Amino acid sequence: MNTSSDFDLQPDPRILPMLGEINLAQWRCLAELVDNGVDGFLSMIRAGQTPADPEITVNLPMKDDASARVTVSDNGPGMTPDRLERAVRAGWSGNNPIESLGMFGMGFNIATARLGTVTTVWTSQKAESEEHGLRVDFDELRRQGHFRTPRLTRPKTDASMSGTSIAIERLKPEQRAWLAKPANRAAVKEELSRAYSSMLRHGGVPITFKLVLNGKRVPAVNHCVWDDTRSVETSRHGTVFAVQKIDQHLPDRPFCIACWQWLAAGEASCPACGSAANVVLRKRYVHGWIGLQRYLSSTDYGIDFIRNGRKIEIGNRDLFLWKDPNSGAMEIEYPIDDPRQRGRFVGEIHLDHCRVTYMKDRFDRTDPAWDEMVGIVRGEGPLQPQKAASLGYSANESPLFKLYQAFRRSSPPKARVAGGWANVLSVKDNDLAEEMAKKFHEGIPEYQPDTKWWELIQEEDNRLLTASSAGVPSPGGSGLPGFSAVPGATATATGPTPVPPVAPAAVPAPPPPKRTPLPSLTREYRHDATSLRWDVRAFEVSTSDPDLGTSTRPWLLRKLPDGTDQFFVNPAHSIFRSATMTVLDALLCELAYKAADFTRSLSNAPSFSEILAELRDRYGGSLKLDPVALGNSTEIVFRGIARAWPVGLDSADTNKLFNDMPSTDREAIHHRMATRSVANPQQVISEGRFLEFAPPRVIVDFVLSHPDLFFDGRCWEDTYAGLDYLHPAATEEARKRVLQTYESLLADAVWLSEQDAADLEAAPRERVLRAALAVELLAPMPAEGTGEQT
C-alpha cells in the first residue's frame, strides 16, 4: 500500500504514442520541427548575436521501405543537455510564448509520434567537442514502463559548428507510403513555402533563413500585387494606393507567462494564478500590408495572418464580413460586385501578440488582440459607405476601407468608357492576367514588375479612347525630289538654252511602318490535341503596312527564324466592323488553320472547326456569354440601383416613399426582410434601404415612379430633371424619351434576372446579348463621379 502523501501523476509511457493519433497533416508535423529551428535563430538575435547564414534542412524518404526516415536539422545555437531533456518532455515548453513559434511543448511529441515510433535528437553548441543526444523509442518505453532514456554523446568533427538534428525512424506504414509519393512531397514543399514565405524571402520578417527540402531550396510564395506606387484619385480619400501599408504600435500590456493570458492595463497580478512574479510587460505591434492582386480569382485571395514569421491563416476572408450588431447576422461585403464572385484583395498581417490554437491553424478570436487588429485594418462599421453612414458610424480611414472604396469593383461601371479600366486597376481579360501570374510565380524576371498587366489596361483604354489607326499615305510625289514636274530645256526667243545637269538628291528611306504592340494578344497559345504551340507577338498595323502585302488583307501570321510568330492585324479593316468578329477571333482562326494544315495528312486528324472551337474555348473566355456570370451581373446592377437613391433624404421622406408603394410591393419587401432575418424592418425603411430587399420588378416600378431620384448624377449621369428646352411640352417630351430608353433597358435586365442558367442556354443568342448589353449600360455610376463605390 502506498503511504506517500502525494499522488504520482507521471503519465504512462503509452501517452506518447497516443499523441501520434492526433490528426496533424504531414506538413504541419514538419513545420513543428522547423519552428524549433527558427526559435533557435530568434533566441540568438534576442541575445545580441547574428545567425550566420541560418539554414534548416528537411529530408523526406524517396521510396517506401523499412529504412525510410525523416530528418530535420539546423545550424542554430544548439542546446545544453539539460535543455535537450526538457525540450522533448511532453507538456514542457521553455519558449517565450509571445516571441517564439513553439508554444505548447507538445508540438515536438505530437509531430514525431505522428510520423514514426523512434526519434533521435543530436545537438551541440559552439566550442563543444561533442554532441549530446537522446533516443525516444516508444516501443521500448512501453516495455520498460518508465520515461528514462540514456544520455548519448558522440565526438564533433568541427568544434566551431552548432545546431540540432532530429531523425524520425521506423516510420508508420501509412506515413511511409504517403511520403514516398512525389506528388505528396511536392504538396509538402508548397505548404512549407507558403507557411514560411515571410521569412524565406530577402528582407524577411522577423528573420530570413534558408529552407532546404531534399536538397532543393524552398522558395517563398510572393503575392502577385500591383506596385505600391500605383494609385487612383478619389474625392473622399484623395490618392489611394494599390498597396496599403500598416504599421501600428499599441501600448505595452501586462501578460502572464505562466497562464498565457493578457491582463488589463495596470494589473500587477494575474487574476488566474494570483501571482505577480509571472507578469511581464509585452509589446504589441500590428504591421504588414493589404493590397490589390493583378488578377481575379474565386479561390486565390484573402489575407494571410502571421505569428512570429509563420503564417497561421492563409487567404482568410473574415475581414470581408460585416456582423450586424443588432441582428448578429453576417453579411459578405467583398466580393459583391464581380459577376463570378472573384476577389483580388490580399495581404500579410503580422499579429505576434495574439493567441493561436494548439494546432497553430487559427488565431483565437476571443483574444482582445484580434479585435484590436480588426479595428486597425478595417475600422469600425460596414465597408459600404452608405450603410456605414446610415448606421451612424463616423468617417473610416482604415487601410481596408480605402482599398475597398477605390478598388471594390473588378470592372469599371461604364466598361465602354475610356479610362475606366485604369481607374479600377483591373485587366479586362482576366484569363490572360491569371496566365501571366503563373509566370510571375515561376520567377520569370519580365513578369515580376506589373508592367505587362499595366500595358493590357492601357491597350483597352486606348482602344476605347481613339479609333483604329488611319492608313499612312504612301511617300513620294509625281517626280523625284529636286526635279521639276516637266523635265527638259527651257524655251527662249533665241533658241534652246542648255540646262546644266543637276545631281539627283538622295532619296530618303521611307519611314518604318507604324506598328503598335498588342499585349492582349501577345502570349503563348497551345493546342493540346495536336501538341502545337505558338509564341505570338501581336501588332496593330495600318492598311498600307508592307507586310500585309495588300490593302485588302486584314491580318497576317508569319513565323520568324527564332521560332516566334508575328501577328499583324489591321483593326480598321471592314471585317471588324461587326458585332461578332474580333481581332482575337482573327488570330484564333489563323492558328486553327495552321494546325489543321499541319495535321492534314495524319489519320484521325482534328478538323479546322474542332481546333477553332477548342482554341476559342481556351482563350476566348472574355467573349463568352456565361449564364452564371450574367445572372450575377444582373443581381449586382439591381443591388447598386437599390442603394444609390436615398442620399440626402431624411426618414420622413423615405417612410413616405415606402408607404406610397403599392401594397403588393410592400408585402414583397417585408417577406424578403423576414427570410433574411432583419431584426428591425422599420429602421431599414427609415434609412431608405428597403429597395435592397425588393425584387427587380419592384425596383423598376420605383425607378419609373421617381425618376428624379435616379438621374442627374444620383444613380445614372444622364440628365432628367435638369433638362430645359424653354418650353414645357418640349422639356416633357425630352424627359419622356430618357425614361423610355431606361424603361426598355430595365425590362431587359428584369428578363435576365428571371432566367435560370438552363433558360439562358436555350434562349436565342441575340436576346441574351441584348439583355447583357442592357445590364452593362445600367451599371450605376461611381459615387461623386469618382472611382469610389456606393
Residue 583 lies in a domain: yes
Residue 89 lies in a domain: yes
pLDDT in tens, 293-348: 999 999 999 999 999 999 999 999 999 999 887 767 788 999 988 888 999 999 99
The one-character DSSP state at 469 is P
The one-character DSSP state at 491 is P
Q: Are 778 and 641 in contact (CB under 8 A)?
A: yes
Per DSSP, the three-state class of 401 is helix
The candidate with the shortest Cα–Cα distance to 190, out of 311, 73, 100, is: 311
Number of domains comprising the chain: 4
Do 557 and 700 share a domain, yes or no? no
CA dist., res. 785 & res. 790, Å (int): 11
Last residue of a domain, one of 152, 185, 217: 217
Helix 651-659 / helix 663-675 crossing angle, nearest 10 deg:
110
Last residue of a domain, one of 217, 247, 273: 217
Do 201 and 239 share a domain, yes or no? no
Range of the domain at 767: 627-785
Do 631 and 617 share a domain, yes or no? no
The CATH number covering residue 202 comes to: 3.30.565.10
503 Cβ contact list (under 8 Å, min separation 6) = none
Higher-pLDDT residue of 213, 479: 213
The candidate with the shortest Cα–Cα distance to 42, out of 106, 101, 87, is: 101
Per DSSP, the three-state class of 141 is helix
Q: Are 707 and 700 in contact (CB under 8 A)?
A: no
Higher-pLDDT residue of 120, 267: 120
CA dist., res. 49 & res. 296, Å (int): 43
Do 67 and 209 share a domain, yes or no? yes
Do 159 and 280 share a domain, yes or no? no
Last residue of a domain, one of 622, 656, 688: 622
Do 207 and 300 share a domain, yes or no? no
Look at strands 243-256 and 261-262 and give their pairing: antiparallel
pLDDT of residue 235: 83
Do 610 and 632 share a domain, yes or no? no
Higher-pLDDT residue of 480, 28: 28
Residue 634 lies in a domain: yes
Other CB atoms closer than 10 Å to residue 576's CB: what's the count?
17
Residue 81 lies in a domain: yes
Do 56 and 204 share a domain, yes or no? yes
In DSSP terms, 164 is beta-bridged to: 74, 123
The candidate with the shortest Cα–Cα distance to 626, out of 721, 494, 760, 723, is: 760
Helix (H) / strand (E) element for 619: namely helix 608-619
Q: Are 79 and 162 in contact (CB under 8 A)?
A: no
Residue 468 lies in a domain: no
CA dist., res. 478 & res. 321, Å (int): 73
H helices of 63-163, in order, are 81-87, 107-115, 138-144
H helices of 378-516, in order, are 385-390, 399-407, 420-424, 430-441, 451-465
Do 260 and 388 share a domain, yes or no? yes
Residue 178 lies in a domain: yes
Q: What percentage of the chain reaches a pLDDT higher than 90?
A: 59
pLDDT in tens, 673-687: 998 888 889 988 998
Do 643 and 681 share a domain, yes or no? yes
pTM for the whole structure: 0.81
Do 354 and 206 share a domain, yes or no? no
pLDDT in tens, 730-789: 999 999 999 999 999 999 999 999 998 888 888 998 899 899 999 989 988 765 434 454
Do 398 and 528 share a domain, yes or no? no
Residue 508 lies in a domain: no
Residue 241 lies in a domain: yes
